Each structure stands twice: as C-alpha cells, then as structure tokens.
C-alpha cells in the first residue's frame, strides 16, 4: 500500500511539472504603435484581438492599412504579433454582416466559428493568413502570427544599427537611403516604421532582423555586388519599385518576410545574376511578379544558380507569382539559370490580362538564357482570376529582349494542385529546333480534385520544338 502511494505521488508530481512547463512555454508579444502614424496608417474594417489560450484578458492589435491590387487601388488590413504556445484570435467585422468566411491558405485548414458577427479561431504554430469575409479579397485582413524573436541585439553594440519603436527617416539629402556597411546587424524593433530603403553595395556579412516595417520606400532592400546578406522578419509596405532588388550578389537568405505592393514594377523579390539563394517562410502580395529570377540586367552580369525556395505564400494581383529567365546577356553565347527548387508553395491568386505575361509558374526564357534543372514540388494554386497554371516558352520578347533564349531543359512539376475557375490553357513551346524545350515531367497534377493523365486534363497545349514531355 505504501509503495503504491509513492507511485501515485510521483506521477502527480510529474504531471504538475509537465503542466507547469507548458504554461511557462506560452508567451504572447504584441507591438507598440508609433504615435506619429497612429491615425494615418490605421484601417477600421476590423477590430482584432488576441490572447493566450486559457487566459481571460484579450489584447488589442493595431490594424495597419496596406494597399493592394494596382487595378483597383484597394486598401486591405494587416495585423502582426509574436507567440509561443497556443493563442486565440478574435476578429470583429466593423461594418456589415458576416455571412461567409475564408481563411487562406486553405492548406492550413484553420477551423473557425462565428458568434454575434465575431470570428474566432485558434493557432498553435506561426502562420501567415488571409481572412476574407463574404468573398472580399480586396478589403481582407492579413494576419501574421510570428514565432518569438530569436535575437534582440544590444543597442550599444557598435556593429548594430538599431531602429527602436517609432518612425525613422534617412538624413536630409540622403535620397531616402540608409547605406549599410559590412559586418553590421540592422535591427528593426517591433513598432519601428522606417521610411527609406536599405542599400547594401559591395559589402558582406549584413543582417536585417526584427519585426519592424519599411513603409513607402523606393525599394525595400537593394543588394548589389555583395555577399552573405540576410533578411529575417521584416515587413515591406508599398515600395515604388521592388521589395528586394538583388544584383550580382551571392549567399542571400530571406526568411519570414512579408510584402505588399501596388505600383507598376513593384515586384516582390527580383534577383539578377545572383546565386546561392535561400528563401523561406514568406508572404508576398504584389502588383507585379512576386519572385523573379534573371541573369544579366542593367549593371549586373553572370549566371543564376542554386536557389532553394520553400514555404512561400504568393499572391500576384498583377503578373506572375513566379517568373524565371526573361532578362539575360546577348553580347555572347549566353548565361545559365540552373538548380532552382521550389517546394511547399501556396499561390493564392493570379490576375493578369496580358497573355504574354501569364503563368503561375512561368519560364519565359529569352536573351540567350538557358534554363535547366528546375523543380516545383507540393505547389497548391487556389484560384486564377485570369491567367495560366504553366507557361514554359523559349521566346524573343520584343518589348524586353534583344534575342531569343537558348532553351529549357530538365524541369519537374510534382504534386501540383489547382482548385478554382477554369484558367486559360497552359503552354509549352520552344523557339526553334536548336532552341527547344527538352525533358519536362508532370507527376501527380490534380485539377479540381481529379488527377491529370493527359495534357488535355491539365489544359496544356504542347507546341512546337518540344520533346520528352511526360505526364504521369
């Protein structure tokens, strides 16, 4: 009897320790609001609150106004917070009745309930979400539930450029530029709003970290002739041109970046003649290409090699979610784009009325470029307002190019699903017998719940100068 009592006591103690550790592991961090932008950046469509699971007190979040969709010039909403453990989210629609709710990407399978016109749901891991009421994707709510920051650098460290909560502008006469030197860490604290672009030119070993915002810059980040540059946790809102502009640089790492843009040529991530690139856990809603990979353009020369792009959410209000190969160097035989791998990608939208620039996954190969050894795996496309699933062409683009591409070789599409309206037909087409497309594999392509067995099932037109196109 005594022995059994000891076992029960030890079991109770272990249970107490386990529960205590779980409670201690839970943490919620909300961000301060810069008083300078308290009213000018606020959007009043939603009231959003969050709390740790099991607690009673809700914490208010600041609903930022974010411009979306160049065609309609709409204003959506965005909130952010950090957490560990489990949180409950409460969203009140401030005007109108909640009849229908979508929380996307649908692959996240977020369950919700609606009570008294308020939407409730729970998160137990970091997520980037679009909450859409009554089918409204232009005035929706973007929710960025981040993991806790891993590092908060010392403000007194001479190698740290520290932007605390509040509004920050470059010095007068600096052309709205923050020039960053080698071996520096740039920290944008939660609640920091920086109005200017960060430039890394001929530098190395630079890190941009934090939870701050870059607001209305010419570009968010300009990385040229540089090596070993990291961006982690930053949000870029409404750049004039590009969120990340990269030229002839290597070892670029982008993680947990969020982006909104609405202007012409306001691409998300555009990299020219850059190699050794890792992109992970991003949310890009852009009114031009979300991710574009080229070789030579402007002052940048060289091949583009070795990219790994994972866990990305892409929303192209205009142009392509993914575009590869258009710009290159026709002054010689040509450059190569190779070893590019995409996996676990959610594409929420494409809306592009120009057939020449359609394709959720587009290889538009021109300017003597050769594109080879690319893979797209576990890609989920939710809807296409206007566009195509696949567009693989070796072409001469009269608007942007000075010559045709050299070819496309060894491309794999595996576990690709689409659920939505019928898109325009996809296309694969070479330029000539020696500038052709060779060895493209489609495996497990699911169109509106049905596995494709033929090109017709995919809605794919196989054009001239192609060979070894397989579907299984």
Contact 42, 64 (CB under 8 A): yes
pLDDT of 161 over the 60 cut:
yes
Confidence of residue 24 (pLDDT cuts 50, 70, 90): low
User: What share of the chain in percent tops pLDDT 70?
Assistant: 95
User: Tokens representing 143?
Assistant: 């929710």
Task: Kindly state whether residue 4 falls inside one of the protein's structural domains.
Answer: no
Please identify, among 147, 162, 196, the residue that sits at the C-terminal boundary of a domain: 147
Confidence of residue 20 (pLDDT cuts 50, 70, 90): very low
pLDDT of 7 over the 50 cut:
no
Number of structural domains found in the chain: 2
Asked whether residue 135 falls in the same domain as residue 262, the answer is no
Residue 11 is predicted with a pLDDT of 46
- Give 231-288 as a 3 state SS string: EECCEEECCCCCCEEEECCEEEEEECCEEECCCCCCCCEEEECCEEEEEEEEEEEECC
Asked whether residue 112 falls in the same domain as residue 245, the answer is no
Asked whether residue 331 falls in the same domain as residue 448, the answer is yes
Asked whether residue 135 falls in the same domain as residue 273, the answer is no
Please identify, among 147, 179, 211, the residue that sits at the C-terminal boundary of a domain: 147
Please identify, among 122, 147, 172, the residue that sits at the C-terminal boundary of a domain: 147
Task: Kindly state whether residue 58 falls inside one of the protein's structural domains.
Answer: yes
260-287 confidence digits (pLDDT tens): 999 989 999 999 999 999 999 999 999 9
CATH number of the structural domain spanning residue 398: 2.160.20.10
Q: Which of helix, strand or coil describes residue 55?
A: coil
pLDDT of 71 over the 70 cut:
yes
Asked whether residue 318 falls in the same domain as residue 466, the answer is yes
Q: Average per-residue pLDDT in the chain?
A: 94
Task: Kindly state whether residue 291 falls inside one of the protein's structural domains.
Answer: yes
3-state helix, strand, coil in the chain (%, to 5): 10, 50, 40
pLDDT of 292 over the 60 cut:
yes
Task: Kindly state whether residue 191 falls inside one of the protein's structural domains.
Answer: no
The whole-angstrom separation of Cα 458 and Cα 449 is 12
Q: What is the pTM of this model?
A: 0.94
Task: Kindly state whether residue 1 falls inside one of the protein's structural domains.
Answer: no
Average pLDDT on 52-81 reads 97
Asked whether residue 33 falls in the same domain as residue 142, the answer is yes
Residue 340 is predicted with a pLDDT of 98
Average pLDDT on 182-199 reads 97
Task: Kindly state whether residue 340 falls inside one of the protein's structural domains.
Answer: yes
Confidence of residue 158 (pLDDT cuts 50, 70, 90): very high
Average pLDDT on 49-70 reads 97
* Three-point CA angle 80, 83, 84, nearest 5°: 160
pLDDT of 2 over the 80 cut:
no
pLDDT of 440 over the 60 cut:
yes
pLDDT of 13 over the 60 cut:
no
Residue 199 is predicted with a pLDDT of 98
Task: Kindly state whether residue 224 falls inside one of the protein's structural domains.
Answer: no
Q: Which domain holds residue 63?
A: 28-147
Asked whether residue 275 falls in the same domain as residue 386, the answer is yes
Task: Kindly state whether residue 451 falls inside one of the protein's structural domains.
Answer: yes
């Amino acid at each position: 009897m005594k022995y059994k009592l000891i076992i029960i006591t030890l079991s109770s103690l272990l249970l107490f320790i386990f529960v205590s550790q779980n409670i201690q592991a839970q943490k919620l961090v909300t961000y301060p609001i810069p008083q300078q932008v308290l009213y000018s950046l606020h959007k009043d469509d939603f009231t959003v609150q969050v709390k740790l699971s099991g607690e009673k007190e809700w914490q208010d979040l600041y609903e930022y106004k974010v411009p979306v969709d160049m065609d309609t010039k709409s204003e959506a909403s965005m909130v952010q917070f950090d957490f560990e453990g489990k949180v409950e989210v409460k969203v009140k629609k401030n005007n109108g009745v909640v009849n229908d709710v979508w929380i996307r990407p649908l692959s996240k399978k977020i369950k919700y309930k609606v009570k008294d016109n308020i939407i409730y749901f729970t998160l137990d891991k970091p997520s980037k979400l679009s909450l859409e009421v009554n089918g409204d994707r232009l005035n929706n709510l973007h929710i960025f539930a981040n993991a806790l920051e891993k590092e908060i650098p010392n403000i007194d460290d001479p190698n740290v450029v520290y932007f605390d909560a509040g509004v920050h502008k470059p010095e007068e006469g600096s052309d709205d530029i923050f020039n960053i030197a080698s071996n520096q860490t740039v920290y944008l604290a939660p609640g920091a709003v920086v109005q200017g672009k960060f430039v890394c030119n001929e530098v190395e070993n630079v890190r941009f970290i934090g939870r701050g915002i870059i607001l209305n810059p010419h570009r968010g980040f300009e990385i040229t002739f540089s090596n070993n540059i990291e961006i982690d946790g930053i949000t870029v809102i409404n750049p004039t041109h590009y969120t990340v502009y990269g030229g002839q640089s290597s070892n670029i790492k982008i993680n947990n970046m969020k982006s909104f843009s609405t202007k012409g040529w306001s691409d998300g991530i555009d990299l020219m003649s850059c190699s050794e690139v890792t992109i992970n856990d991003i949310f890009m809603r852009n009114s031009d290409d979300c991710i574009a990979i080229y070789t030579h353009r402007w002052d940048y020369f060289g091949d583009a090699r070795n990219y790994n792009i994972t866990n990305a959410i892409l929303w192209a209000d205009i142009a392509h979610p993914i575009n590869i190969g258009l710009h290159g160097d026709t002054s010689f035989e040509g450059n190569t784009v190779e070893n590019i791998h995409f996996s676990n990608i959610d594409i929420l939208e494409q809306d592009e009325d120009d057939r020449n620039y359609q394709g959720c996954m587009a290889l538009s190969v021109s300017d003597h470029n050769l594109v080879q050894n690319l893979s797209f795996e576990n890609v989920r496309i939710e809807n296409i307002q206007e566009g195509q699933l696949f567009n693989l062409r070796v072409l001469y683009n009269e608007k942007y190019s000075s010559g045709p591409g050299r070819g496309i070789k060894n491309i794999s599409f595996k576990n690709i699903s689409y659920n939505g309206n019928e898109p325009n037909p996809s296309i694969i087409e070479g330029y000539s017998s020696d500038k052709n497309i060779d060895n493209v594999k489609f495996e497990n392509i699911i169109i509106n719940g049905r596995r494709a067995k033929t090109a017709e099932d995919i809605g794919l037109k196989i054009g001239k100068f192609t060979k070894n196109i397989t579907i299984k």
